[in-house]
Structures are given as C-alpha cells and as structure tokens.
C-alpha cells in the first residue's frame, strides 16, 4: 500500500510568531510530509508587522531550526480557498485553552461543511497555554520581558518596531 503524501497548512496572523506557534509547527511537521505556514492578511485586525515582514521573520526561524518540509507564505481571503488552491489535505490549528476549543470547533465544522477539509488540532505545550500574539504585543509595548515567550530575533524586531 502506497503512503499518501500529506500536506497541511497552519494558518494564522503570526503578528508576531511566538514560541507557542513554533511548538505547534515543530510537533505538526512530525505528523505531515509538508507543512505550509500560511500568514493571513486581515483587513480587520490592526497588525503591527506587514505580511511580508511576518513571512520574512518566520522564514528566518525555519532556516535557523532546519525544518525540512516546512515553508511559509502569505495569503488573502478565505483559509479554505487558500487550502484548496494549495491542495492541502488538512488545516493544522493549535489549541491553548477551553475558550479556543469552542471557537476552533465551530470553525473546523464550518470548514468541513463548506470545503470538505479536515482540521487537526495540537494542544500547545503547557508553558505556552496562555500566550497569544495580542498579549505579546501588549507586554512588549509596556516594556515587559518576553524572553521565554518569543525567539530573540522576534523580540529584537518587536522592540525596534515599538520604538519607532
């Protein structure tokens, strides 16, 4: 029996990417042959970094950590349409808390009903269960220490951006 090549997408805003995101990526690539980190362009969210900057930051981290099978690109529009265009088999999502479960469950059911695509969930590691990009931006804006929550290169870029 021939093994199926499984392609997954991991969509998000990643503004900025956190150690929690990286945890999900590192564990997700063990499940899939190919993992595309899909940086969404949201007209609704007030974003700190441009999609191009976020793709660049994530690509640097992937290169540093030598993650074969992982790529990153930005996209616009519906995640399910992007997934279909990439011929993705599944959508990967990280879960942090019970609050995430309710929202993500509804989203996964909608994606399956609308586009027939399955969603696979990975629970984030305990030390990142409370972390979100929004919280990271808030702590950074108040000068807090983020060294345990985001990579050094991201922390440096975040400080530079908030100075400006």
Catalytic residues: 21, 45, 96, 133
Q: Quick one: which H or E segment has residue 70?
A: strand 70-75
Which has the closest alpha carbon to 80: 95, 92, 91?
A: 91
Rounded alpha-carbon distances, angstroms, from residue 32 to 8, 20, 39: 7, 19, 19
Contact yes or no for 150/131 (Cβ under 8 A):
no
Which has the closest alpha carbon to 143: 122, 161, 159?
A: 159
Q: How many residues does the chain have?
A: 164
Sequence-ordered list of residues with C-beta below 8 angstroms from that of 86, at least 6 positions apart, any chain? 7, 9, 36, 38
DSSP 4: P
Half-sphere exposure of 163 (CA within 13 A, CB side): 6
């Amino acid at each position: 029996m021939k093994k199926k090549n499984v392609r997954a997408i991991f969509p998000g805003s990643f503004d900025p990417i956190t150690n929690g995101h990286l945890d999900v990526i590192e564990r997700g690539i063990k499940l899939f042959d190919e993992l595309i980190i899909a940086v969404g362009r949201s007209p609704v969210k007030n974003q700190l970094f441009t999609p191009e900057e976020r793709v660049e930051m994530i690509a640097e981290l992937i290169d540093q950590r030598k993650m074969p099978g992982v790529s990153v690109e930005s996209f616009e529009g519906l995640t399910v349409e992007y997934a279909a265009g990439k011929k993705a088999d599944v959508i990967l999502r990280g879960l942090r808390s019970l609050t995430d479960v309710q929202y993500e469950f509804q989203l996964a059911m909608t994606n399956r009903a609308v586009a027939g695509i399955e969603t696979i969930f990975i629970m984030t590691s305990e030390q990142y269960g409370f972390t979100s990009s929004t919280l990271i931006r808030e702590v950074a804006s108040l000068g807090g220490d983020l060294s345990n929550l985001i990579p050094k290169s991201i922390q440096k870029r975040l400080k530079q951006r908030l100075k400006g």
